[in-house]
């Protein structure tokens, strides 16, 4: 393998890893605050992609405006989902709310089939993302370059939000202890909504960039990335934002490099994530950066 070819695969892996990282953060943030695996999270990828698609295709909006609206609407959908399907169950056994999340996921997928049709649609990739750039012999499609850049910007914003703002401090407090947080005067419901909003927005950005990279839309398109990002969050240590990023990049790079070095195994590309999950659960169930999982009391 030449150096150029390796760099080509590496950039590919980094860009896929960025997508996984962005989406995995949503899983981990929601888990941190509600102790819930939000299985509907992956379907937000699909919702965001379709909204962005129709914004350009039907309403003839410029692509950036359409993308922006898609992020806003997906964020709203994430917040509504929590209010409608999870909040009424907050004092129920955790398995109930988990089943509710799976229900929301099925609902979104089937609504997608009804509203958007089951046949695949081709996502129109704006010129700036489709162009091929050449960096010293390495050919990079625009989108492969932009995905990591946008991801890094969003990660910096997220770290700032969580660690250096009042809302972020409240998020960390609520993740530990609802009652004491409300004794501080924190409106716990608002902080939970904020968490869902941030997580959903990141998933939406991830979903749109996913469609730029793999420009084919079907209503079940959120399923596989959703599962893989869930795995990324678990591998990194669920509840830990840094862990989700590490897990995402590990999965993305692992998948691409596996296929690059062992072309014969390309059929096992998806299996790689699941094997990694099994190994992590056997060796270090709390994940790479996970803390001890203490039962919430």
Partner 1 sequence: MLKINNLHVHYGGIHALRGISLEVPKNKIITLIGANGAGKSTTLRSICGLVPKTDGTIVFEGEDITSLKTTEIVKRGVTLVPEGRHVFPDLTVLENLKLGAYLRTDKSEINKDINRVYELFPRLKERKDQLAGTLSGGEQQMLAIGRALMSRPRLLMMDEPSLGLAPLIVQDVFKIIQQIHNEGMTILLIEQNASAALQIADYGYVLETGSIVLEGTGKELLNNQEVKKAYLGQS
Does 186 interact with partner 1 (rule: CB under 8 A)?
Answer: yes
SS3 content of the chain, % helix, strand, coil (to 5): 75, 5, 20
d(CA 266, CA 229): 20
For residues 103-122, which are near partner 1 according to CB under 8 A? Answer: none
User: Which CB contacts under 8 angstroms, 24+ apart, belong to 125-131?
Assistant: 125/212, 125/215, 126/63, 126/212, 129/212
Please name every residue paired with 132 in a beta bridge, in sequence order, or none if there are none: 141
Q: Which is nearer to partner 1, 177 or 258 (CB)?
A: 177
Does 159 interact with partner 1 (rule: CB under 8 A)?
Answer: no
To the nearest whole angstrom, how small is the minimum distance from the Cβ of residue 297 to partner 1?
A: 10
Task: Evaluate whether 191 touches 167 at the Cβ level (below 8 Å).
Answer: yes
Q: Which of 184, 224, 278, 293 binds partner 1 (CB under 8 A)?
A: 184
Q: Which is nearer to partner 1, 119 or 292 (CB)?
A: 292
Strand (E) or helix (H) holding 19:
helix 3-34
Q: Which is nearer to partner 1, 132 or 294 (CB)?
A: 294
Task: Evaluate whether 179 touches 142 at the Cβ level (below 8 Å).
Answer: no
Does 244 interact with partner 1 (rule: CB under 8 A)?
Answer: no
* Beta strand ranges found along the chain (DSSP E): 121-122, 132-135, 138-141, 216-217
Does 94 interact with partner 1 (rule: CB under 8 A)?
Answer: no
The count of chain residues that interact with partner 1, using the rule CB under 8 A, is 16
Q: Which of 83, 87, 90, 172 binds partner 1 (CB under 8 A)?
A: 172
Q: Which is nearer to partner 1, 122 or 184 (CB)?
A: 184
Q: Which two tokens stand for residue 126?
A: 């704006």
Q: Which is nearer to partner 1, 165 or 216 (CB)?
A: 165
- Can you give the binding site for partner 1, defined by CB under 8 A? 166, 169-170, 172-173, 176-177, 179-187
């Amino acid at each position: 393998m030449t150096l150029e070819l390796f760099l080509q695969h590496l950039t590919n892996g980094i860009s896929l890893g960025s997508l996984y990282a962005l989406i995995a953060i949503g899983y981990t943030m929601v888990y941190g605050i509600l102790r819930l695996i939000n299985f509907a999270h992956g379907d937000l990828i699909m919702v965001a992609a379709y909204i962005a698609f129709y914004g350009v295709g039907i309403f003839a909006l410029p692509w950036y405006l359409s993308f922006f609206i898609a992020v806003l609407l997906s964020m709203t959908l994430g917040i509504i989902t929590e209010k409608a399907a999870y909040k009424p169950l907050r004092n129920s056994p955790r398995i109930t709310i988990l089943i509710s999340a799976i229900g929301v996921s099925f609902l979104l997928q089937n609504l997608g089939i009804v509203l958007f049709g089951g046949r695949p649609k081709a996502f129109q990739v704006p010129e700036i993302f489709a162009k091929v750039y050449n960096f010293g012999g390495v050919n990079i499609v625009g989108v492969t370059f932009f995905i990591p850049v946008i991801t890094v910007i969003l990660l910096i914003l997220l770290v700032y939000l969580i660690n250096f703002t009042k809302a972020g401090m409240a998020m960390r407090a609520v993740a530990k202890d609802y009652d004491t947080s409300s004794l501080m005067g924190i409106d716990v419901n608002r902080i939970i909504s904020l968490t869902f909003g941030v997580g959903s927005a990141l998933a939406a950005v991830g979903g749109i960039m996913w469609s730029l990279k793999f420009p084919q839309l079907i209503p079940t398109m959120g399923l596989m990335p959703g599962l893989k990002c869930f795995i990324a969050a678990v591998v990194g240590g669920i509840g830990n934002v840094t862990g989700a990023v590490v897990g995402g990049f590990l999965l993305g790079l692992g998948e691409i490099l596996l296929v690059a070095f062992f072309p014969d195994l390309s059929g096992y590309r998806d299996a790689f994530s699941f094997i990694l999950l099994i190994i992590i659960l056997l060796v270090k169930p709390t994940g790479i950066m996970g803390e001890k999982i203490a039962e919430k009391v």
